[in-house]
Amino acid sequence: MAAVVSDSNTPLNSYATRAVVPEQLRHQSRRMHELPVTEKILEVTLKHAQGQHVNRIVRIHLRVGELSDLEPEWIQRYFDYLSKGTLAEGARLAIETSPIVLRCQGCGRSFAVEKDALEGVNCPDCGETGCALVSGREYYVKNMEVV
């Protein structure tokens, strides 16, 4: 039975590229910005598994903002490559997409908006055009399932 190790909201925003990517992955896509994020996902999960009597990481639950431009397929591909020979080898990534939410600077109302409607968006309550981004760019490890 898998246990859940919570790492609630571990941010993945500070990362450094270290991995050597195989030639076949490098030329399949221009999606290289997933690589440093995926490296950080692996680093965070291995760090939190350490000292917890974990035999294997089975699933990693992520929250990824709609504006992050991260492709789940490429995150999983890079993860599969990077995690070889670690406790996380074979782990599946469960990626939840968080919506774009703005907060009106006039009345303070928060509201969701579609990506293609961001240009020139107005507050649905007061019509104000000044809005701040509340969510939609984040990416973090929510928790992981281990055995």
Kindly report the backbone phi and psi dihedral angles of residue 141, in degrees, each rounded to the nearest multiple of 5, phi listed first: -85, 120
Segment 93-111 mean pLDDT = 96
Is the model's pLDDT at 86 over the cut of 90?
Answer: yes
Is the model's pLDDT at 16 over the cut of 90?
Answer: no
pLDDT tens per residue across span 40-54: 999 999 999 998 999
Q: Which residue ranges form the domains of the chain, and what is each CATH number?
A: 3-99+135-146 (3.30.2320.50), 101-131 (no CATH)
| pLDDT band at residue 31 using 50, 70 and 90 as cut-offs | low
